[in-house]
Chains A and B, each alone.
Chain A
Amino acid sequence: MTDTQYKNWIPITDAEGILWLHLDVENSSTNILSAPVLEELDSILDDIGKGNLPLGVVFTSDKENGFIAGADIREFTKVSNFDEAKAHIQRGQFVFNKIEALKCPTIALIHGFCMGGGFELALACKYRIADDGPKTRLSLPEVQLGLHPAFGGTVRLPRLIGAPAAMDMMLTGKPYNARKAKKIGLIDYAVPTRQLIPAAKKTIMNPPRVYKPKKMQAITNHMLVRPILKHFMIKTVAKKASKEHYPAPYAIIDLWAKYYDDPKKMLEEEANSEASLVNDDTAKNLIRVFFLRDQLKAQGKASAEEKVNNVKEVHVIGAGVMGGDIAAWCAFKGLRVTLQDRDPAVIAKAIKRAHKLFSRKMRGDRLGIIAAMDRLIPDVKGLGIPKADIVIEAIVENIDAKQGLYREIEPKMKKGALLTTNTSSIPLEILSECLATPDRLVGLHFFNPVAQMPLIEIVTADNTDKDVAKRTSQFAAQIDRLPLPVKSGPGFLVNRILMPYMLEAVRIHEEGVSAAAIDKIALKFGMPMGPLQLADTVGLDICLSVAQILSKELDVTVPSSLENMVKSGKLGAKSGSGFYEYSNGKKVKSKDSSKTVDTKNITDRLIGRMVNESVACLREHVVADKDLLDAGIIFGTGFAPFRGGPMNYAAKEGLDEYRGKLSSLEQKLGSSFKPDDGWEQLASH
């Protein structure tokens, strides 16, 4: 066979007669399976069929970062109807079927990431060999986009490793390293980098028996077992996501339960199911969120001509919950961290939490945990200040205390080191007054719990040095968080939008609706936690204090019941009592006083306050545009991602209609629903 020229594939037949198919997608740092890439592969496979069969075929990537990242998600956003989507999917299935049908040994030789469609390509091969290094990640993350594997993944995976492991991989989207993948049968060999090519050659020269699921794995696919397992799977999934909001995981289970015994039919149904998901709002919004994430990440990327000053040493002052957890996160991400607090007892608690975090994140990796603990250095005396590339202040929210600290540390800091504050409520303009160079202070506002909330607000005032702000965003990206540039102002972006929503919930509660009923409505809308449960978790005293700060600057009324609860010592979960009762920190199940509630009205009131405040933030340019606003609210609060953020939600409902809805709420409930002036500008765009 002649090795034809392709744009993305480099076919090389070696002396032994093995065909090496190198994928190197043009004009891209990452291999993705776009339509042109699949078309080329199709014609390569046809050529193989025409000529003499090679001794074996090896799929490998010439990109340093990994094998194949998956299908081209952008293509999904362009399809406009079911048939178009189905045709697109079946093309891919068709090509992969050709790989599967090759009569010679076929190998996917994997390094780095191998995700989605890339992993499905590997599944169509007879053997999979992966680099055992830490960067190898195999995953089927489609559910996170409201989709499921559709290039034969739902068909081939349960057949390979049995239903429980296959479902775990597809339903969670979580990545597997090579060691774990080998253990459950996803790959045939996990080898060091230097052995990848020799292993592939040896496997083709002496093909071993193709991996068959173990008996216990195989039996899970039996037609009598499937209905039982399905029941449990659905129960597990329902705990995480409702069918109404997230249909994809249910579709995966359904496909397997109904069609497993007929692979051909199953493949067809896989395409049908995916084609309808692609056209669903959930997937569209989740794909948008996926791109929003990229957009936030881009805020922390240095452009080609900038040089990146990677932070090596971090100094955190204040070892309370926020400071301690920030320090732990930085250490987890490979930075050297000194953690300062006057009180060793406070540091000790932070160290304990850090150890818990590392143990959870690096389960089984004893040496990794030790190394992370070694990077996190208790520092009562503040010895780390002169060495730090960035100082993160996370002490008590008190202007005098913070200013006193800045005065003390500024002269000790390294030249050019970043000085940041995790304040959530004090304007930067005030805090930076005391500095010799006031333009150096940037807000680095993490959210609680630090290890789970991906967003960091990068807060700047008018006088903040632009370069310093940019470097702070780069630091956020360095520790794998999403930087969102926002303007200094009461509550910045996320808390400012969240607070009216929570206060509205308190007001509805004052009107006699039970906390459980209100929270249930919010959950049904798709919020990760009800507003009153959230208030209890954060602490009612903290909510009150933030509300009071906001009420000074904005048109926010603090409900008297919140003040009364705090006065009487009801502070939420930590005090044992708030909107709910707690025993040993756990919520005591309360009976839902089943007064009939107007779900629609309560939803509108809760979300309406958020949307209206979002419009106000846009008008005041707290954040650059509505995409970034939506991203901030989704990643900062967990706002129903499948709804694409508050502005996306309002736009979907119709901006004029939504404004009208607010006006009618204003007539019934007063000025807190008065449509913001910003609606005018929105409408004119």
Chain B
Amino acid sequence: MAAAHKKTFARTVYVVDGSRTPFLKAKGKQGPFPAADLAVAAGRPLMERQNFAPSEFDEVILGCVMPSADEANIARVTSLRLECGENVPAWTVQRNCASGMQALDCAAMNIATGRSDLVLAGGVEAMSRAPILLNDMMVNWLADFSRARSAMDKVKALSKLRGKHLKPIIGLLRGLTDPVVGLNMGQTAEILAHRFNISRNEMDSFAVESHRRLANAIDNGWFDEIEVTYDNNGKYYEYDDGLRRDSDMAGLAKLKPYFDRNFGKVTAANSAQITDGAALLILASEDAVKKHKLPIMGRIVDSHWAGLSPSQMGLGPAHAMAPILQRNKHKVNDIDYWEINEAFAAQVLSCVAAWKDDTYCQDNLNEKKAFGEIPHERLNVDGGGISIGHPVGASGARIVLHMLHVLKRNKAKRGMASLCIGGGQGGAMLVESEA
């Protein structure tokens, strides 16, 4: 067992504990929590139950795609607010939709190489609070206006202000549009749906199942990792609030396609929700586990990052998971559970389809034959981005954390967590429980 992961990691990387906030669906207005508040809300109860002080961390690493203006290097803000102290360094990583997983990977690497022994890592995003920006015309007009000294100059500058100056740039929309090929993420999903012939019906049915599984998991009390989160207005949040218990095929069929209004298949309901949330994990070396007598949830065994065409970014997981199986000499059946982040139903289904396709695997994944079918009953067993939501910086940490819970619950050994990444990448992480 130990031999397999020693290939990639010189020292064993343990996951000790972790928690997250409920994922809160963006409802148009700004959500109740700034990103740093979310990270603190996930971290405080996590730290409260540890028997070591936050100052024992060697570093804090957080993934975040769009922190607000007050949250430059949000990992440092979070670290100080969690009382890790001035001497614990903290840094923020950004790999779009996989930023949270990137943070875990960085933490794992530093532990594996011996640089760190105890790391707080995870991800956070308040998508509902993504910045709204001034356009270039307005920025330049403001510069002119502030340079105007006399009253007359000011009046002159004012007279040049037009309505078009006031048109804002919606940061979130820009962020969800590929900066190189110019496609919106939803449009890349449409491309995959076409390529792998995924029907609207299949997507909708995948979405309905995602909600059903989340409801089932909540009803069974399977979300130990969620911490109740309190806002300043007397409200508290216990569960992911994007859940639609009433989601059914008839209802979903009524929705118009969102990204290709007339002829598309990808709708808002079979895509991930825009969501706020944070997830934090504690990673530790063997030394740290012994020193602080830490419990063990599992190990991070391997991880991989892959690149592919930005216009087909949704296939990222298929590309990132393949080398991990190859390196560790695993078959599909050796993996007990799978998490493939549900950016779009079309995109998850395409990944599954690609792995079943001999030609695709031969041409792209360096395999002689297809990997085989990832069984749906072992994939995203408690729901995913479509029902839970996808706060881009946090999802990578969430799926790894939840995978460890799923393994424990089912007394299973091995789990794979993976995400597609805007810009044409995929990230994957192999974890094992102590079972």
Which chain B residues numbered 189 to 231 have a C-beta less than 8 Å away from chain A? 228, 230-231
Q: Is the CB of A370 within 8 A of B234?
A: no
Chain B: interface size category: 10 to 19
Q: Within 8 Å CB of A344, what residues of B?
A: 228, 230, 236, 238
Is A436 in contact with chain B by the CB < 8 A criterion?
A: no
Contact A338 B236 (CB under 8 A): no
A351 touches B49 (CB 8 A): no
Q: What's the least CB distance linking A415 to chain B, in Å?
A: 16
When C-beta atoms are compared, the residue in chain A nearest to B235 turns out to be: A348
Interface string of A349-367 (1 = CB under 8 A from B): 1011001000000000000
Closest chain-B Cβ to A601's Cβ sits at a distance in Å of 47
Q: Which of B6-14, B40-48, B245-253 is near enough to bind chain A?
A: B40-48
Pairwise interchain contact B236-A384, C-beta atoms closer than 8 A: no
Supposing A338-B48, A347-B236, A379-B48 touch, asked if A374 and B81 sit within 8 A by C-beta, the answer is: yes
Q: Please tell me if B146 contacts chain A, counting CB pairs below 8 Å.
A: no
Q: Taking CB as reference atom, which chain A residue is nearest B36?
A: A370
The answer to whether A377 and B228 touch (CB under 8 A), given A348-B234, A348-B236, A349-B234, is no
Q: Does chain B have a CB within 8 A of A373?
A: yes
Asked if B262 is an interface residue, CB under 8 A from chain A, the answer is no
The reply to whether A377 and B81 contact each other, CB–CB distance below 8 Å, is: no
- Are A352 and B81 in touch, CB under 8 angstroms? no
Interface residues of A in 374-427 (CB under 8 A from B): 374, 377-381, 383-384
Q: Does the CB pair B230–A378 fall under 8 Å?
A: yes
Among candidates B49, B228, B235, residue contacting A378 with C-beta atoms closer than 8 Å: B228
Cβ-closest chain A residue relative to B50: A383
CB 8 Å contact bits of B21-48 with A (1 = contact, 0 = none): 0000000000000000000100011001
Report A-chain residues with C-beta under 8 Å of the C-beta of B235. Answer: 348
Chain A residues near B231 (CB-CB < 8 A): 348, 351
Interface assignment of B159: CB less than 8 Å from any CB of chain A: no
Name the interface residues of B230-272: CB closer than 8 Å to any CB of A.
230-236, 238
- State A527–B232 Cα separation when bound (angstroms): 35
Give the number of residue pairs across the A-B interface with Cβ within 8 Å.
Answer: 43
Q: Mark A451-481, 1 if CB is under 8 A from B, else 0.
A: 0000000000000000000000000000000
Name the one of A338, A351, A384 contacting B232, with C-beta atoms under 8 angstroms: A351
Q: Is the CB of A351 within 8 A of B234?
A: yes
* A residues 292-348 touching B (CB-CB < 8 Å): 336, 338, 344-345, 347-348
| A344-B230, A348-B230, A351-B230 given; A377·B236 CB < 8 A | no
Chain B residue nearest to A359 in the complex (CB): B232
The answer to whether B228 and A380 touch across the interface, beta carbons within 8 angstroms, is: yes
Residues of A within 8 A of B234 (CB): 348-349, 351-352
Q: Flag if B236 contacts A345 (CB, 8 Å).
A: yes
Main secondary structure of the interface of B (DSSP, over half): loop
Whether A352 and B48, one on each chain, are in contact in the complex, defined by CB atoms closer than 8 angstroms, is no
* Cβ-defined partner of B81 (8 Å) among A338, A370, A381: A370
A351 to B41, CA, bound (A): 13
Q: Report B-chain residues with C-beta under 8 Å of the C-beta of A338.
A: 48
B334 CB to closest chain A CB (Å) equals: 37
- B-side contacts of A380, CB under 8 Å: 228
Residues of B within 8 A of A336 (CB): 83
Residue of A with least CB distance to B229: A378
Q: Which chain B positions have C-beta within 8 A of A381?
A: 49
Count of chain A residues near B, Cβ 8 A: 21
Complex Cα–Cα for A339 and B217 (A): 29
Q: Which residue of chain A has its CB nearest to the CB of B70? A: A366
B45-70 residues with Cβ-Cβ distance < 8 A to A are 45, 48-49
Smallest beta-carbon distance B390→chain A, Å: 26
Q: Is the CB of A373 within 8 A of B232?
A: yes
Measured CA separation A549–B44 after assembly (Å): 41
CB distance from B358 to the nearest CB of A (A): 52
Residue in contact with B233 in the complex, picked from A345, A352, A378, CB distance below 8 Å: A352
How far is B83's CA from A377's CA once the two chains are assembled, in angstroms? 13
The answer for the CA separation of A355 and B236 in the assembled complex, in Å, is 14
Shortest Cβ distance from B368 into chain A, in angstroms? 53
CA–CA, A336 and B48, complex, Å: 11
Given contact pairs A344-B236, A348-B235, A379-B48, A374 touches B230 in the complex (Cβ within 8 A): no
CB distance from B237 to the nearest CB of A (A): 9
Which chain A residue lies CB-closest to B232? A355
Q: Give the complex CA separation of A314 and B234 in angstroms.
A: 22
CB proximity of A337 to chain B, nearest CB, Å: 12
Question: What are the residues of chain A within 8 A of B233 when measuring CB–CB?
Answer: 352, 355
CB-CB under 8 A from A370, the residues of chain B are 81
CB distance from A345 to the nearest CB of B (A): 7
Query: What distance in Å separates the Cβ of A213 from its nearest Cβ neighbour in chain B?
Result: 26
- Contact yes or no, B230 A347, CB < 8 A: yes
Residue of A nearest to B49 (CB): A383
Measured between C-beta atoms, what is the minimum distance from B215 to chain A in Å?
A: 21
In contact, B48 and A377 (Cβ under 8 angstroms): yes
A residues near B230, Cβ cutoff 8 Å: 344, 347-348, 351, 378
Residue of B nearest to A378 (CB): B230
Q: Which among A355, A374, A379 is the interface contact of B40 at CB below 8 angstroms?
A: A374
- Expressed in whole angstroms, the Cα–Cα distance for A377 and B40 within the complex equals 10
Distance in angstroms between the alpha carbons of A336 and B232 in the assembled complex: 18
- Is B236 touching A383 in the complex (CB atoms < 8 A)? no
Q: B residues within 8 A CB of A371? A: 81
Q: How far is the CA of A593 from the CA of B236 in the complex (A)?
A: 48
CA distance A373 to B232 in the complex (A): 9
Inside 8 A of B236's CB, which chain A residues have their CB?
Answer: 344-345, 347-348
Q: For chain B, residues 76 to 102, give those with C-beta under 8 angstroms from any C-beta of chain A.
A: 81, 83
Distance, CA A380 to CA B229, complexed state (A): 11
Task: Note all chain B residues with C-beta closer than 8 A to A347.
Answer: 230, 236
- How distant is the Cα of A378 from the Cα of B44 in the complex, in angstroms? 9
User: Complex: how many Å from CA A190 to CA B263?
Assistant: 66
Within 8 A of B (CB), among A253-308: none
Enumerate chain B residues within 8 angstroms of A355, measured Cβ to Cβ.
232-233
CA distance A370 to B41 in the complex (A): 12
Kindly state the separation between the CA atoms of A518 and B236 in the bound complex, as whole angstroms: 44
Residues of A contacting B238 in the complex (Cβ-Cβ under 8 angstroms): 344
Residues on B with C-beta less than 8 A from A377 are: 44-45, 48
Q: What's the least CB distance linking B152 to chain A, in Å?
A: 25
Q: Which of B45, B81, B232 contacts A383 (CB 8 A)?
A: B45
B15 to chain A minimum Cβ distance, whole angstroms, is 20
In the complex, chain A residues whose CB is within 8 Å of the CB of B45: 377, 379, 383
Chain B residues near A379 (CB, 8 Å)?
45, 48
What distance in Å separates the Cβ of B230 from its nearest Cβ neighbour in chain A?
Answer: 5
Nearest CB of chain B from residue A412's CB, rounded to whole Å: 13
For the complex, what is the distance from the CA of A374 to the CA of B235, rounded to whole Å? 17
Set A348, A373, A383: member contacting B48, Cβ < 8 A? A383
Bound CA–CA A349/B236 (angstroms): 9
Please give, as numbers and ranges, the residues of chain A lying within 8 Å of B48 by CB-CB distance: 338, 377, 379, 383-384
B49: A residues at CB distance < 8 A: 381, 383
A345 vs B231: C-alpha distance when bound (angstroms): 11
Cβ distance A384 to chain B, nearest Cβ, rounded Å: 6
| A381→B227 CA distance, assembly (Å) | 11
Measured in the bound complex, the distance between the Cα atoms of B30 and A543 in whole Å is 44
Q: Cα distance A349–B45 when bound, in Å?
A: 19
B85 to chain A, nearest CB (A): 14
How distant is the Cα of A351 from the Cα of B235 in the complex, in angstroms? 9
Q: How far is the CA of A352 from the CA of B49 in the complex (A)?
A: 24
How far in angstroms is the closest Cβ of chain B from A471?
A: 24
Cβ contacts under 8 Å, B83 to chain A: 336
Contact partners of A345 in chain B: CB under 8 A:
236
A675 CA / B228 CA spacing, docked (Å)? 57
List 5 A-B pairs, minimum CB-CB distance, nearest first.
A352-B234, A355-B232, A348-B236, A383-B48, A351-B230
> Can you sample 6 A-B contacts with CB below 8 Å?
A344-B230, A348-B234, A351-B234, A355-B233, A374-B40, A378-B230
Q: With A351-B231, A378-B230, A379-B48 given, can you name 20 additional A-B contacts, CB distance below 8 Å?
A: A344-B236, A345-B236, A347-B230, A348-B231, A348-B234, A348-B235, A349-B234, A351-B232, A351-B234, A352-B234, A355-B233, A370-B81, A374-B40, A374-B81, A377-B44, A377-B48, A380-B228, A381-B49, A383-B48, A384-B48
